[in-house]
Structures are given as structure tokens and as C-alpha cells.
């Protein structure tokens, strides 16, 4: 099967970002499929106009340079979405496709996906990574009634034209079903890359020895975006309480985003920067395993907004893959998992002093840490391993392709039946005329 895979922000392990699309695409190739990924070079370093093509483990990747980061204004980001929608539509229209797959965000990727699928008479499968427009509406980023209506219409357009929908969490699936009950929706969350995070213990020790500020001290890490939804200042405020209780604990924040500078300023104002709290710029995905291997605990945060509970953050599953407990400050399906299994902590969403106290206590509790590590590893292996979830994902694509093929066969048979009936009537008429 020839698959056109549209993802505006595709990353491979040499880049900083989630590698879900890379992992899924290369596994599709390993199963004998041909995969063309259509994406953007968001760095802005490649100023050459037009497309360039590379290959990632057999996957053909088509890149078009459209700079993007979440420090941009809302209007500039909308412009980037629109630019990609146009160029991706043109590119997808030129490629052969037996199935077209598009993954959000943004929602605008549905447009080239739907149009290419219709042009090639191929099934379209849509993947929902964030519940739009519900999230930006609850965050106050989408206030204009016309903009809200347009975003809702775009979501309806995507779901209506999709043969199947893949959702990254149960809450996202429920959101799709509310809008389009007739569209078959399957939950395939982000995954734990067990092989990637299987790190040599000596490499972890070298990392700790290299950084004198760390040594053998407890370490809490945050890796990922510092955007408006994340609220990583929560961790900095909790670190203030941790230092009061246990000055030896260290916090490492690795990432990038609009809230990087405000978070850094807050750490400096609280007297934590370059002491209790360290901040590093984003690193390639391939460098994260040793950082998490050195961590006592990982973390994931969002602002106290109900719609954000339905997230499927890569950092949550990376922690499980590394066999590390994870602390989160939100409810929902991930909180339920941690409560049920003991693989981490669910912190108060707003009380950072209480969070700091609990983190400080657990970072020194070797019995709890040992049990939480076992629970995290078990979750990774039994529920969220990449290979396990890929099988579920591939089954969705296979089913969409088979359904489309059956439908075409039925249309052809119906057409032939109609032709036979017409020929029969013509023959009868001729006989009567004779």
C-alpha cells in the first residue's frame, strides 16, 4: 500500500520533538508499505525556496521550509498553518496514494488530507493529537465567535470526511464522538520507546559525574515544551519549597518555548537559577534517554484547565520507557493510571508548596522509588510499548483500506448489474420491435 502521511511538525530522533510519526512511518515501511511524509522544516535555517527530499529508514520525507515556534504571535502561527495547508495540498496531489493519513495539530492539515484522498479516490484517516477547538476556547485563545465557528466547522469537516479517526486519549476520542458519532474512532496513545530508553548504567554515571552540581543528588527533570499550556513555572515554585526542606534536591528543565524566558526569570527571582534549578535549551530526542536515566523522577505539567487533562504528552511515556516515576499536576486518564499503579505522583494543580513537600519526601524514599520504577516499567511493557500500539495503529489503516476496497468492489458489481439489466431491457425492446 502507498501511504501519504501528512504531519506539519514531523521529527526524527536527531531532532528535538516527538517521534511518533517517524516511528509509525518506519514500521509501515518495514511491513512492506511505501510511505511519503509531507512536512515542514520549522527551523528556518534552510532558506531555499521549494521542496527538498530526504530518507529516514526507508521513509521518503518531503520538507518545505515554513518557520514556526510557539513564541510567534497568534496571527503569525495562523499564517504558518495556512502556508502549509496550501503547499501540502499541492504536494499531496502529485503523489500516488492508496491511503492518506493526516495528523493534527493544527486542524488545517485535514484539508490537504481530504483533498488528496478525494483526488486519488483513497480512504482518509485522521489523527487527533489535541482536542480542537475545545482547548484554545477554554484557554481563551479563541474568543471571536466567528473564529470559534470556523474552527468547529473545520473539525466537523475533518471527522465527516475521515474513514476512521485515531485519537491519542480516551477524552479526545469522546470529543470526536460528540461531534461525529458515526465516525469510527480508535484510541492509540503516545508510546513508550523501550529500545531507545534502554541506557547503559555507566553512561548514566558518566552524566552525573560530568555535572558537579548533580553528582549523586536527587534529580527531578522536565523535558519538552515551555508553552502557554504547560505552566512550567509550577515546577519552579515547587522547587522553592523543596529547597527549604531539602537543599540537596536538583531540578533540570530541558526544552524551549514561549515561556522559557519568563520561567528563567522566575527561577532567578526566587534565587534558584543555576543552583537548585538548571535550565538547558532543547536537545535532540536521542539525547533524552541518558537524561531520564539520570533522573530520580520525571514530570509533566499543564495549566489548571479541564480540557488539558486529555493530553497524551510524550514526556509521560518517555518516563515510563525509562522506568522512572512521573509527577503530574492534572487529573484525567493519566492521573487514574498513576493512582491505580503507583507509577508516579498526582500533585495538587495549584498548591505548589504542597507539591514541593511531597516531591521532596518521595525523592528520598528509596522504598517508594523502587516500587514506582517497577510500576512504570510494567506500564511501559504491558500497555504502552511502541510495538504494541503500532499494531493497533496499523490495524486501523488496514481496516480503512479494506473497507474502501470493498466499497469499490461493491460499486463495480452494482455498475455491472446495472449494465446487464440495461442490456437485457434493450434486447427485449429489440425483440419486440422485430
Please, what are the domains in the chain? 2-191+387-413 (3.40.50.2000), 201-382 (3.40.50.2000)
Helices (H), 14-133: 20-30, 74-94, 110-120
Q: Which of 17, 24, 85 is nearest to 58 (CA)?
A: 24
Alpha carbons 249 and 362: distance in angstroms, whole number: 11
Asked if residues 272 and 306 have their Cβ atoms less than 8 Å apart, the reply is: no
DSSP 53-72: EEEETTEEEEEEE----TTS
Q: Which of 360, 357, 352 is nearest to 235 (CA)?
A: 352
Q: How many CA atoms within 13 Å lie on the side-chain side of 117?
A: 26
pLDDT digits (tens), the chain, 434 positions: 999 999 999 999 999 899 999 999 999 999 999 999 999 987 656 667 789 999 999 999 999 998 776 667 767 878 889 999 999 999 999 999 999 999 998 899 999 999 999 999 999 999 999 888 888 888 877 888 898 899 999 999 999 999 999 999 999 999 999 999 999 999 999 999 999 999 999 999 999 999 999 999 999 999 999 998 999 999 999 999 999 999 999 999 999 999 999 999 999 999 999 999 999 998 999 999 999 999 999 999 999 999 899 999 999 999 999 999 999 999 999 999 999 999 999 999 999 999 999 999 999 999 999 999 999 999 999 999 999 999 999 999 999 999 999 988 776 555 555 555 444 444 343 333 43
pTM above 0.95, yes or no: no
Backbone φ/ψ region at 44: left (φ over 0), alpha (ψ -120 to 50), beta? left
Amino acid at each position: 500500500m502507498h501511504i501519504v502521511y501528512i504531519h506539519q511538525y514531523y521529527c526524527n530522533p536527531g531532532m528535538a520533538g516527538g517521534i511518533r510519526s517517524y516511528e509509525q512511518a518506519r514500521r509501515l515501511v518495514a511491513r512492506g508499505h511505501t510511505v511519503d511524509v509531507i512536512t515542514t522544516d520549522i527551523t528556518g535555517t534552510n532558506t531555499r525556496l521549494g521542496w527538498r527530499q530526504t530518507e529516514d529508514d526507508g521513509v521518503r520525507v518531503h520538507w518545505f521550509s515554513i518557520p514556526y515556534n510557539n513564541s510567534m504571535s497568534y496571527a503569525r502561527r495562523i499564517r504558518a498553518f495556512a502556508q502549509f495547508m496550501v503547499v501540502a495540498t499541492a504536494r499531496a496531489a502529485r503523489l500516488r496514494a492508496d491511503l492518506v493519513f493526516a495528523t493534527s495539530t493544527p486542524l488545517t492539515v485535514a484539508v490537504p488530507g481530504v483533498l488528496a484522498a478525494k483526488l486519488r479516490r483513497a480512504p482518509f484517516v485522521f489523527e487527533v493529537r489535541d482536542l480542537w477547538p475545545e482547548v484554545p476556547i477554554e484557554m481563551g485563545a479563541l474568543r471571536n465567535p466567528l473564529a470559534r465557528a470556523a474552527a468547529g466547522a473545520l473539525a466537523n469537516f475533518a471527522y465527516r470526511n475521515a474513514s476512521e479517526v485515531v485519537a491519542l486519549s480516551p477524552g479526545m476520542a469522546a470529543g470526536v464522538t460528540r461531534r461525529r458519532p458515526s465516525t469510527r474512532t480508535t484510541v492509540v496513545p503516545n508510546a513508550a520507546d523501550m529500545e531507545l530508553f534502554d541506557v547503559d548504567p555507566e553512561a548514566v554515571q558518566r552524566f552525573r559525574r560530568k555535572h558537579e552540581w548533580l553528582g549523586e543528588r536527587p534529580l527531578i527533570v522536565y523535558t519538552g515544551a515551555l508553552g502557554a499550556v504547560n505552566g512550567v513555572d509550577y515546577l519552579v515554585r515547587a522547587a522553592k519549597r523543596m529547597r527549604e526542606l531539602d537543599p540537596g534536591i536538583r531540578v533540570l528543565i530541558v526544552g524551549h518555548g514561549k515561556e522559557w524566558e519568563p520561567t528563567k526569570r522566575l527561577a532567578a527571582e526566587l534565587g534558584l537559577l543555576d543552583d537548585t534549578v538548571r535550565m538547558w535549551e532543547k536537545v535532540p530526542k536521542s539525547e533524552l534517554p541518558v537524561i531520564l536515566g539520570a533522573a530520580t523522577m520525571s514530570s509533566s505539567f499543564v495549566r489548571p484547565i479541564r480540557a488539558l487533562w486529555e493530553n497524551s504528552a510524550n514526556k509521560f511515556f518517555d518516563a515510563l520507557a525509562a522506568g522512572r516515576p512521573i509527577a503530574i499536576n492534572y487529573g484525567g486518564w493519566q492521573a487514574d493510571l498513576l493512582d491505580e499503579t503507583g507509577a508516579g505522583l498526582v500533585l495538587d494543580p495549584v498548591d505548589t508548596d504542597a507539591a514541593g513537600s511531597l516531591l521532596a519526601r518521595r525523592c528520598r524514599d528509596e522504598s517508594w522509588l523502587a516500587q514506582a520504577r517497577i510500576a512504570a516499567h510494567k506500564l511501559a511493557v504491558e500497555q504502552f510499548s511502541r510495538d504494541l500500539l503500532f499494531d493497533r495503529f496499523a490495524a486501523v489503516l488496514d481496516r480503512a483500506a479494506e473497507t474502501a476496497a470493498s466499497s469499490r468492489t461493491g460499486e463495480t458489481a452494482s455498475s455491472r448489474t446495472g449494465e446487464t439489466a440495461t442490456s437485457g431491457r434493450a434486447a427485449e425492446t429489440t425483440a419486440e420491435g422485430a
